[in-house]
């Protein structure tokens, strides 16, 4: 087990190294640079800036010195925000993003799974049809459309919630709704189909034939098995939600890291692009590792790190 | 007719409501199970044998419904009970084991846990007492090194061992009736015999009654006391197992007996399959369901449902067959097919 964990972590480090290398060279392959803008800078100023940030050096030298920084967890200075380091950018933005992301995650799990269960238990009845109709819309409607409509109705027309910012708890409602809408619907649909499949299994009839309580049958025998495919999806979803969404943060004017993700690319803010990518990649890999470990708890047939017999 | 029946099924009729109409899976099945006897129910797939037993225990899928008839267990009307009331009987007085031990055990729980939860659902005992009982049961069904195997998961057992686990689980509360739904079908031939003998031994040791559902007449011959032949959701023939094998009174039973190979026969003998396929249970035929495939069918067979005719002087128990040829006005030439045992090899 420990052996397996060490192997996995080493593999993660290797993957991360490949991602860093690939992103670094791809990023530099995009024409333009951090200091190219419509207002042409005087050539000597641009040269001075390039020299200050080491952009005048050959690219392999830049790459090596960047790697050097990474090893000490230093993501370097932002090119766009003078005097701000990428570490600080993440440190400031992450709490905002993580808070809304965590609440969205909570909605996905605490609403999505139970809605799926209700739908599965009332297959083809009105409860099922209603939940699935809403969930299908939730999957189909893009989050920014949902966010804009919700903003217009709840914030502008009825003035129930603020239009932007997270100063009061009401401010969280719309961003969390917009953020969780897709995954909530997705998980509800997945939970339904997964549970329906399990309900049709022979061991569920056995459980009934043994005279067990319906709740024991549903949760101990049914959900435990139905959760396996749900957990598979939830890992990447956590990473996705906790690292934020550019569109949602832009619409609700939230100072999170999600917007840095996109803005840094158009700004050619090299260090920010790298920093956010590395952060997201590492987080995603960690979540996948957790999912794999959870499998073992849920399904005893899965033995990690052992060769199949 | 020595003692009062343990289970009395009367005119049981089960339908499945589907978008294409009602599937009439069981159409007026009646039979008794006496304490301590083994009743074999035989029939091909879709003949309604499994559905009959699932109906008795209220284990039908959501679209299934017992529309008529009753099942009476020791004076309690099972077909009228709520799910909550049935729960106290399932796994306690009446237990059930299933065809495929590979899929009938929950893969994510240890077999010990699956046994213990059954005991705890019916008996006011502590967990450790339940575990002790589970160990006894493992010994009873002859699972070697029981103590260590309780904490194993189903996938760590072979097919035969899993069926033993299923049997142990069914025996947790000393049931008076065990329903075994094709308990050997999914197993290797050598294992099939072991499991059958185990069931027979347990039946003698514990004195329970068994309903053994199968499509394998060999299984019935080996262990059953009485036999119930089902076709098209109805009872075609019923009687003492020797009686029915010696002189089958229904062409369908004869057909079934003809389609088993006889290893003792040295002559080159072709098996005689029954031509045709079972009836569509959405629109079952008005007459005898077997008539379209029956080599001896007469006009009457296609037009009206035959009643069960009792064979005179059958011993030791009633021998009945649902066939018009037993009617006194049926052509005598055709009636003679039942007289001499037609199973002549070669």
Q: Are residue B143 and residue B21 in the same domain, yes or no?
A: yes
Q: Rounded to the nearest 10 degrees, how much is the dihedral formed by the CA atoms of B93, B99, B103, B105?
A: 30
Test A299 with B108 for CB contact under 8 angstroms: yes
Q: Are B16 and B63 in contact (CB under 8 A)?
A: yes
Q: B279 to chain A, minimum CA–CA distance in Å? A: 26
Q: Are residue B204 and residue B305 in the same domain, yes or no?
A: no
Interface residue ranges in chain B relative to chain A, Cβ cutoff 8 Å: 57, 59, 62, 83, 86-92, 95-96, 98, 100, 103-110, 117-118, 121-122, 153, 155, 166, 169
pLDDT at position A308 is 43
**Facing residue for A212 by CB, picked from B59, B98, B117:** B117
- Structural domain includes residue B130: yes
- Residue A219 structure tokens: 């949760």
Q: Are residue B206 and residue B182 in the same domain, yes or no?
A: yes
In a mutational test of the B interface, the residue from A209, A220, A230, A298 whose CB has the highest number of chain B CBs within 10 Å is A209
pLDDT at position A195 is 96
Test A221 with B90 for CB contact under 8 angstroms: no
B307-316 residue pLDDT tens = 999 888 777 7
Q: B232 to chain A, minimum CA–CA distance in Å? A: 24
Q: Which residues make Cβ contacts (< 8 Å) with residue B197, sequence separation at least 6?
A: none
**Facing residue for A202 by CB, picked from B100, B117, B169:** B100
Q: Are A103 and A172 in contact (CB under 8 A)?
A: yes
- Structural domain includes residue B236: yes
pLDDT at A309 over 60: no
Test A202 with B122 for CB contact under 8 angstroms: no
Sign of CA dihedral B159, B161, B167, B172: negative
Test A212 with B88 for CB contact under 8 angstroms: no
pLDDT at B1 over 60: no
β partners of residue B15: B24, B65
How many residues make up chain B in this entry?
346
Task: Report the residue of chain B nearest A205, measured CA to CA.
Answer: B59
- Structural domain includes residue B344: no
Residues B249, B238: Cα–Cα separation, whole Å = 9
Residues A27, A112: Cα–Cα separation, whole Å = 38
In a mutational test of the A interface, the residue from B84, B104, B181 whose CB has the highest number of chain A CBs within 10 Å is B104
Structural domain containing residue B284: 231-338
Q: Are B91 and B122 in contact (CB under 8 A)?
A: yes
B237-261 residue pLDDT tens = 999 999 899 889 999 999 888 887 7
Test B108 with A123 for CB contact under 8 angstroms: no
In a mutational test of the B interface, the residue from A210, A220, A231 whose CB has the highest number of chain B CBs within 10 Å is A210
Averaged over B230-234, what is the pLDDT?
Answer: 93
Q: Are residue B184 and residue B274 in the same domain, yes or no?
A: no
Q: Are residue B242 and residue B115 in the same domain, yes or no?
A: no
- Provide CATH 1.10.3720.10 ranges for chain A: 95-298
> Which of B183-214 are b and which e, b meaning 16 or more Cβ less than 10 Å from the residue's Cβ?
bbebbeeebbebbbebbbebbeeeebbbbbbb
| pLDDT confidence band for A53 (50 / 70 / 90) | confident
Which residues in chain B touch residue A214, judged by CB atoms under 8 angstroms apart? 83
**Facing residue for B91 by CB, picked from A202, A205, A210:** A210
ipTM of the predicted assembly exceeds 0.95: no
> Which of B48-84 are b and which e, b meaning 16 or more Cβ less than 10 Å from the residue's Cβ?
bbbbbbbbbbbbbeeebebeebbbbbbeeebbebeee
Task: Report the residue of chain B nearest A216, measured CA to CA.
Answer: B117
| pLDDT confidence band for A171 (50 / 70 / 90) | confident
- Structural domain includes residue B343: no
A118-152 residue pLDDT tens = 999 999 899 999 999 999 999 999 888 988 898 89
pLDDT at B345 over 50: no
How many domains is chain B partitioned into structurally?
2
- Structural domain includes residue B1: no
- Residue B164 structure tokens: 């033993």
Q: Are residue B239 and residue B109 in the same domain, yes or no?
A: no
Q: B121 to chain A, minimum CA–CA distance in Å? A: 6
Query: Which segment, A41-45, B301-305, B335-339, is predicted with the most confidence on average?
Result: B301-305
- Return the higher-pLDDT residue of B262 and B139: B139
CATH number for position B180: 3.40.50.300
**Facing residue for B105 by CB, picked from A206, A212, A299:** A206
DSSP, res A118: H
SS (H, E, C) chain B: CCCCCCEEEEEEEEEEEECCEEEEEEEEEEEEECCCCEEEEECCCCCCHHHHHHHHCCCCCCCEEEEEEEEEECCEEHHHCCHHHHHCCECCCEEEECCCCCCCCCCCCCHHHHHHHHHHHHCCCCHHHHHHHHHHHHHHCCCCCHHHHCCCCHHHCCHHHHHHHHHHHHCCCCCCEEEEECCCCCCCHHHHHHHHHHHHHHHHHHCCEEEEEECCHHHHHHHCCEEEEEECCEEEEEEEHHHHHHCCCCHHHHHHHHCCCCCCCCCCCCCCCCCCCCCCCCCCCCCCCCHHHCCCCCHHHHHCCCCCEECCCCCCCCCEECCHHHCCCCCHHHHHHHCCCCCCCC
pLDDT at position A304 is 66
Q: Are strands B209-214 and B177-181 parallel, antiparallel or unpaired?
A: parallel
Q: Are residue B185 and residue B253 in the same domain, yes or no?
A: no
pLDDT at B344 over 50: no
Q: B309 to chain A, minimum CA–CA distance in Å? A: 35
pLDDT at A276 over 50: yes
Q: A207 to chain B, minimum CA–CA distance in Å? A: 9
pLDDT at position A240 is 83
Q: A215 to chain B, minimum CA–CA distance in Å? A: 12
How much of chain A, in percent, has pLDDT values that exceed 90?
A: 35
Q: Which candidate, A208, A232, A206, A303, places its Cα nearest to that of B155?
A: A303
Which residues in chain B touch residue A205, judged by CB atoms under 8 angstroms apart? 59, 98, 104
For the domain made up of A95-298, give the CATH fold: MetI-like fold (1.10.3720)
pLDDT at position B106 is 94
**Facing residue for B92 by CB, picked from A202, A207, A211:** A211
pLDDT at position A222 is 93
Q: What is the mean pLDDT of chain B?
A: 88
- Structural domain includes residue B208: yes
Which residues in chain B touch residue A224, judged by CB atoms under 8 angstroms apart? 108-109
β partners of residue B209: B177
Q: Are A138 and A182 in contact (CB under 8 A)?
A: yes
Q: Are A224 and A301 in contact (CB under 8 A)?
A: no
Q: How buried is residue B298: exposed, middle or buried, by Cβ count under 10 Å (0-12/13-18/19+)?
A: middle
- Structural domain includes residue B2: no
Q: Which candidate, B338, B179, B340, B307, places its Cα nearest to that of B236?
A: B307
Q: Are residue B31 and residue B160 in the same domain, yes or no?
A: yes
Q: Are residue B114 and residue B235 in the same domain, yes or no?
A: no
Which residues in chain B touch residue A206, judged by CB atoms under 8 angstroms apart? 98, 104-106, 166, 169
Which residues in chain B touch residue A300, judged by CB atoms under 8 angstroms apart? 107-108, 110, 153, 155
Q: Are residue B101 and residue B84 in the same domain, yes or no?
A: yes
- Return the higher-pLDDT residue of A190 and A99: A190
pLDDT at B127 over 50: yes
B68-124 residue pLDDT tens = 999 999 988 998 899 899 999 999 999 999 988 889 999 999 999 999 999 999 999
Q: At residue A241, what are phi and psi to the nearest 5 degrees?
A: -75, -40
Q: Are residue B253 and residue B276 in the same domain, yes or no?
A: yes
pLDDT at position B232 is 92
Provide the 3-class DSSP secondary structure of residue A77: strand
In a mutational test of the A interface, the residue from B108, B116, B153, B180 whose CB has the highest number of chain A CBs within 10 Å is B108
Test B87 with A213 for CB contact under 8 angstroms: yes
Which residues in chain A touch residue B153, judged by CB atoms under 8 angstroms apart? 300-301
Q: How far apart, in Å, are the Cα atoms of B197 and each of A38, B89, B200?
A: 90, 26, 5
- Structural domain includes residue B345: no
β partners of residue B10: B70
- Return the higher-pLDDT residue of B37 and A73: B37
Residues B305, B322: Cα–Cα separation, whole Å = 8
Residues B178, B167: Cα–Cα separation, whole Å = 9
| pLDDT confidence band for A170 (50 / 70 / 90) | confident
Which residues in chain A touch residue B118, judged by CB atoms under 8 angstroms apart? 210-212
Q: A119 to chain B, minimum CA–CA distance in Å? A: 14
Averaged over A282-290, what is the pLDDT?
Answer: 89
Test B105 with A203 for CB contact under 8 angstroms: yes
Which residues in chain B touch residue A123, judged by CB atoms under 8 angstroms apart? 62
Interface residue ranges in chain A relative to chain B, Cβ cutoff 8 Å: 123, 201-203, 205-214, 216, 220-221, 224-225, 298-301
Test A202 with B103 for CB contact under 8 angstroms: yes
pLDDT at B343 over 60: no
Task: Report the residue of chain A nearest B156, measured CA to CA.
Answer: A301
Q: Are residue B14 and residue B141 in the same domain, yes or no?
A: yes
């Amino acid at each position: 087990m420990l052996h397996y964990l060490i192997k996995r972590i080493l593999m993660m480090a290797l993957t991360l190294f490949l991602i860093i290398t690939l992103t670094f060279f791809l990023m530099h392959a995009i024409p333009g640079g951090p200091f190219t803008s419509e207002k042409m800078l005087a050539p000597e100023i641009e040269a001075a800036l390039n020299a200050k940030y080491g952009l005048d050096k050959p690219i392999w030298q830049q790459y090596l010195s960047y790697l050097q920084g990474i090893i000490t967890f230093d993501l370097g200075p932002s090119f766009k925000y003078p005097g701000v380091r990428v570490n600080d950018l993440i440190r400031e933005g992450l709490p905002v993003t993580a808070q809304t992301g965590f609440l969205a995650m909570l909605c996905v799990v605490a609403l999505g799974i139970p809605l799926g269960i209700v739908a599965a238990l009332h297959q083809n009845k009105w409860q099922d049809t209603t939940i699935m109709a809403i969930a299908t819309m939730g999957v189909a409607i893009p989050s920014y459309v949902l966010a804009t409509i919700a903003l217009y109705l709840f914030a502008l027309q009825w003035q129930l919630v603020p239009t932007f910012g997270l100063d009061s708890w009401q401010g969280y409602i719309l961003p969390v709704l917009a953020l969780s809408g897709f995954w909530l619907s997705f998980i509800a649909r997945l939970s339904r189909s997964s549970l329906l499949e399990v309900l049709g299994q022979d061991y569920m009839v056995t459980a009934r034939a043994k005279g067990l309580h319906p709740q024991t049958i549903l949760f101990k025998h049914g959900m435990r098995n139905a959760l396996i495919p749900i957990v598979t999806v939830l890992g990447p979803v956590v990473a996705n939600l906790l690292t934020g969404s550019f569109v949602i943060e832009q619409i609700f004017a939230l100072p999170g890291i999600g917007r840095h993700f996109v803005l840094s690319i158009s700004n050619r803010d090299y260090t920010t692009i790298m920093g956010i990518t590395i952060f997201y990649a590492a987080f995603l890999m960690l979540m996948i590792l957790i999912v794999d470990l959870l499998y073992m708890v849920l399904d005893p047939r899965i033995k990690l790190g052992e060769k199949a017999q | 007719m020595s003692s009062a029946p343990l289970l009395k099924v009367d005119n049981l009729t089960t339908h499945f409501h589907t978008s294409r109409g009602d599937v009439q899976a069981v159409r007026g099945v009646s039979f008794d199970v006496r304490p301590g006897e083994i009743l074999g129910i035989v029939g091909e797939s879709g003949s309604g044998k499994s559905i009959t037993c699932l109906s008795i225990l209220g284990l039908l899928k959501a679209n299934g419904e017992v529309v008529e008839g009753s099942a009476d267990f020791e004076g309690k009307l099972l077909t009228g009970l709520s799910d909550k009331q049935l729960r106290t009987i399932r796994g306690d007085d009446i237990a059930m084991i299933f065809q495929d031990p590979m899929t009938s055990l929950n893969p994510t729980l240890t077999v010990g846990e699956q046994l213990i939860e059954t005991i705890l659902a019916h008996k006011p005992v502590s967990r450790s007492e339940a575990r002790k009982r589970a160990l006894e049961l493992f010994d009873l069904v002859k699972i070697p090194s029981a103590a260590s195997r309780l904490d194993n998961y189903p996938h760590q057992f072979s097919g035969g061992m899993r069926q033993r686990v299923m049997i142990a689980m069914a025996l947790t509360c000393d049931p008076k009736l065990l329903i075994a739904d094709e308990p050997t079908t999914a197993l290797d031939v050598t294992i099939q015999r072991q499991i059958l003998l185990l069931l027979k031994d347990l039946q003698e040791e514990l004195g329970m009654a068994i309903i053994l559902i199968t499509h394998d007449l060999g299984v019935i011959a080996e262990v059953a006391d009485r036999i119930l032949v089902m076709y098209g959701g109805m009872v075609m023939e019923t009687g003492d197992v020797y009686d029915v094998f010696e002189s089958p009174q229904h062409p369908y039973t004869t057909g079934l007996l003809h389609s088993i190979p006889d290893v003792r026969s040295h002559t080159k003998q072709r098996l005689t399959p029954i031509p045709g396929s079972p009836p569509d249970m959405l629109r079952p035929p008005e007459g005898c369901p077997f008539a379209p495939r029956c080599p001896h069918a007469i006009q009457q067979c296609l037009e009206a449902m035959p009643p069960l005719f009792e064979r005179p002087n059958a011993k030791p128990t009633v021998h009945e067959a649902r066939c018009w040829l037993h009617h006194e006005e049926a052509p005598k030439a055709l009636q003679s097919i039942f007289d001499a045992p037609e199973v002549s090899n070669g």
